[in-house]
Amino acid sequence: MSGENLMEAIEVGDEAGVKRELDDGADPLFADAEGFTVLHMAAQEGYDAIAIMLIRKGAKIDATDDEGTTPLMLAAAGGHAAAVVVFIKEGADVSVRAKSGKSALFCAACVAGSQEATKALLEASADVFSCPVEGKTLAEVAAKKSAECAKMLAAAAAGKGSVTRLLEAAEKGRTACVEAMLAGGANVNATDSDGWTALHFAAGDGTPALVALLLSKGLKADVQDKDGVTPVDMAEEEEHEEALELLKASL
């Protein structure tokens, strides 16, 4: 029963009780039937001091429950920034993903909306590009929870492979994503190896809102790629009438 007693002591934040149970031989690896360990409990409740005690006694810092969730993810989802910092300092793997695809960074920014936890994970080089929500970026999802977290994620993305990511987002007509990346410092004038700007890609996709956004940021409708092709040409070729009208009106 010592494992269950340890779990109960952790749940109520009884540091003295946790120490006593551990000193009496309670198993720091104890888990329930779903693989939820005592360290998961400490992380979920944000008890960083207890987490340190458990780790020092041999608790597995990257233990996963039946859903693939780690203690770090739970600390992040709860917005427990101090606990997140502890786990990172103790060597937790920030790249682990649960079966749902959620990462600790997703949990911090998109679930908890915690700026402090998000900042700590970004500084630990958590992957800013992997998002479990299909067709969305972390910044886009985080914006629904915390505008500041979204800005942090967009800025981080802008500093890592920003040209490729910006152009890919433009090609797919993802207006919110492009806007977030530009707000984070991505270069609106970036081009690919063929001289295509984000506006070329947006014109080819035909999303009016994205075309309007890029025009408002200073991109020109008549800018030429290496073959002399302009965004106007792209919109005409793809027969995107509304986008074409916006482009021509800007000239």
Task: Give the pLDDT confidence of 181-210 residue by residue, as tens digits.
Answer: 787 677 899 898 899 999 999 999 999 999
Q: What is the pLDDT of residue 137?
A: 87
**DSSP per position, the chain:** -HHHHHHHHHHTT-HHHHHHHHHTT--TT-B-TT--BHHHHHHHHT-HHHHHHHHHTT--TT---TT---HHHHHHHTT-HHHHHHHHHTT--TT-B-TTS-BHHHIIIIII--HHHHHHHHHTT--SS--SSTT--HHHHHTTT-HHHHHHHHHHHHTSSHHHHHHHHHHTT-HHHHHHHHHTT--TT-B-TT--BHHHHHHHHT-HHHHHHHHHTT--TT---TTS--HHHHHHHHT-HHHHHHHHHT-
Query: Would you say residue 193 lies in a domain?
Result: yes
Which CATH number fits the domain that encloses residue 166?
1.25.40.20
Q: What is the pLDDT of residue 125?
A: 83
Query: Would you say residue 143 lies in a domain?
Result: no
**Inter-helix orientation angle 162-171/175-183, to 10°:** 150
2: pLDDT strictly greater than 90: no
Q: Which domain holds residue 176?
A: 162-251
Dmax (CA) of the chain: 79
Give Rg (Cα) of the chain. Answer: 24
List the one residue out of 59, 87, 58 whose CA is nearest residue 72.
87
Query: Would you say residue 251 lies in a domain?
Result: yes
Query: Would you say residue 148 lies in a domain?
Result: no
CA–CA gap between residue 66 and residue 77 (Å, rounded): 17
Q: What is the mean pLDDT of the chain?
A: 93
48: pLDDT strictly greater than 60: yes
Query: Would you say residue 172 lies in a domain?
Result: yes
Query: Would you say residue 233 lies in a domain?
Result: yes
144: pLDDT strictly greater than 60: yes
Tokens (6 digits) for 145: 């929870």
Domain count, the chain: 1
Query: Would you say residue 214 lies in a domain?
Result: yes
Query: Would you say residue 72 lies in a domain?
Result: no
This prediction's pTM: 0.68
Quick one: average pLDDT of 114-120?
Answer: 97
